[in-house]
Amino acid sequence: MGRELQKRKRRSSRPTVRTHNYRKKALNPQGSNIVAQEWDKKETLSQNYSRFGLVSKLGASGLSSKSSKKSKSPSTPNPLAHNPSDRGLLRVQEVQVERDAQGRITRVIREANPLRDPLNDVLDSDSDSESDDGDDGEEWGGIDAPRVVRELEREAAQPTEKLVRHQSEREMEWLGELVARHGEDVGAMARDAKLNRMQQTAADIRKRLRKAGLLG
């Protein structure tokens, strides 16, 4: 019976499923010395990024597909959210007006916030609190970001030197052979299968020649 079972396994078209037991290694970040110095190998990637003040996923929520579907219809609407059905048109509403003795409109009494902007109340409250406290109008420095984020921003703001590509001796020799055989005919250089083995285009050869000073 055992022998027949082995024969049946050999004839089966289904591949044998083999599980690989890979050893779980601690994450070793590479590419940024600032992140590598502050990295804690005992924490996961999401935990380290949360401690740094960074986002571990490019998605807005970082949730799975099931949880993201549930979060699409929140119970309380966000007043700052953009409504795609709203095309920027103002809603028709009633306003108060003042009329003279003849019934002509002399003044329209407008609301302080006709567009129902939720930020208007916040700005008004901030301006009132500054006037009451006697603030000198000192500029707000923003939210205090974590130290890792500040160092990364400082590193990104540093100017970088442009890398200048220098032509090698072999390239100069190759361009000299092309000029010696075809002169200034760049099209013939591109069609030369013997010298132009890498099949460089005519535009690329012209650019290299001008950089080397061999073509006006």
Give the distance from CA 132 to its chain's centroid.
42
Q: 200: domain range?
A: 169-212
- Give the residues of the chain that fall short of pLDDT 70: 1-2, 12, 21-24, 26, 59-93, 111, 114-119, 121-145
pLDDT at 63: 46
Residue 3 belongs to a domain: no
Residue by residue, DSSP assigns 131-184 as HHHT---PPP------HHHHHHHHHHHS--PPPPPPPPHHHHHHHHHHHHHHTT
Q: Give, in degrees to the nearest 5, the angle at Cα 107 between 101 and 112.
A: 150
Residue 138 belongs to a domain: no
Residue 196 belongs to a domain: yes
Q: Which two tokens stand for residue 52?
A: 């740094």
**Number of alpha helices (DSSP H) and beta strands (DSSP E) in the chain:** 9, 2
- Expressed in angstroms, the distance from the first to the final Cα of the chain is 86
pLDDT, tens digit, 9 for 90 and up, residues 156-190: 888 888 888 889 999 999 999 999 999 999 999 99
**Count of the separate structural domains present in the chain:** 1
pTM metric for this prediction: 0.34
Residue 84 belongs to a domain: no
Please tell me what DSSP assigns to residue 89.
Answer: P
pLDDT, tens digit, 9 for 90 and up, residues 70-92: 545 555 666 555 555 555 555 55
pLDDT at 200: 94
